[in-house]
Amino acid sequence: MGVLYLLSEGSCARNIFELMEQRIPIFYIDGRGKIIGHFVHEKQSATRLLRQLEIFRDMGKQLDLSKEIIAEKISNQRALLKRYEKSVDAEKLERTTKKLKQTADKLSAVKTLEEIRGVEGIASKYYFATFTELLDQSRWKRKERSQHPAKAPVNSLLNYGYAFLGREVRIAVALAGMDARIGFFHANDGRKDSLIFDLMEFFRQPIIDKFVLNLLNKRMIQPEDLSRVRRQKFA
């Protein structure tokens, strides 16, 4: 199935009509790559939306899907750390991967979404505490994971990568005719598109974390390539 990205407002309405007739999704994006809006075939969207709502109303299925998401995320965290066993402190990595395995094993006994989120939080704490060991500490100092705002260059790069990942997942969700607002693991509180964040969990470590580590360890990006931007407060 083809995809057309419209970067300006100069497209002819007839062309849009013809594309929609052929069930070809259309995406409007701005200069920064942010999706402003899109058109997808109505029948496809309705079918998938009804299926999403069916699962959303079934707490048992929500729990099963959420467990699968976090189990895969923790598995990806362990796999990425194991890639560096020959180049960094193998004993420390082994201890962390063992803790991650033990944490993942707890998923089988949890019975609520909050408990699953607790397991995910513990696993992420173990993972990012060891993530620092994969970097050249003389060049990249990274004390803790921070998001908004990022407090270290490595965090900035991770956040930047996750932003790109979120865009690609959003496009895939739209192509599938699904509603980005209806997820299963992340809170459906209207403040963010839950399904996007749910699906991003499958790809953070094998794509973004791995890519950022390669950039830094192969010295394709140097600390001096990044600059600190001060946030100014205006009255």
**Residue-wise pLDDT tens digits, 158-182:** 998 999 999 899 888 877 778 888 8
In the block, which residue shows the tokens 């270290």? 152
> CA 125, 148, 99 angle in degrees (round to 5)?
5
Mind listing the pLDDT tens digit for each residue in 209-221? 999 998 888 888 7
Helices (H), the chain: 13-21, 42-56, 59-82, 90-105, 113-131, 153-175, 194-200, 210-217
Q: Which residues contact residue 50 at a Cβ distance below 8 angstroms, ignoring those fewer than 6 apart?
A: none
Residue 3 in tokens: 């995809």
Q: Which of 67-71, 107-111, 117-121, 222-226 has the lowest mean pLDDT?
A: 222-226
Residue 165 in tokens: 């990942």
In the block, which residue shows the tokens 């060991």? 133
Given pLDDT bands bounded at 50, 70 and 90, which one contains residue 73? very high
Mean pLDDT of 153-161: 87
Residues 150 and 159: beta-carbon distance below 8 Å: yes
Share of the chain above pLDDT 90, in %: 37
Given pLDDT bands bounded at 50, 70 and 90, which one contains residue 145? low
Look at residue 210 in the predicted model and tell me its pLDDT.
Answer: 95
Residues 130 and 93: beta-carbon distance below 8 Å: yes
Given pLDDT bands bounded at 50, 70 and 90, which one contains residue 228? low
Given pLDDT bands bounded at 50, 70 and 90, which one contains residue 229? very low
Given pLDDT bands bounded at 50, 70 and 90, which one contains residue 44? low
Share of the chain above pLDDT 70, in %: 77
Residues paired with 39 in a beta bridge: 26
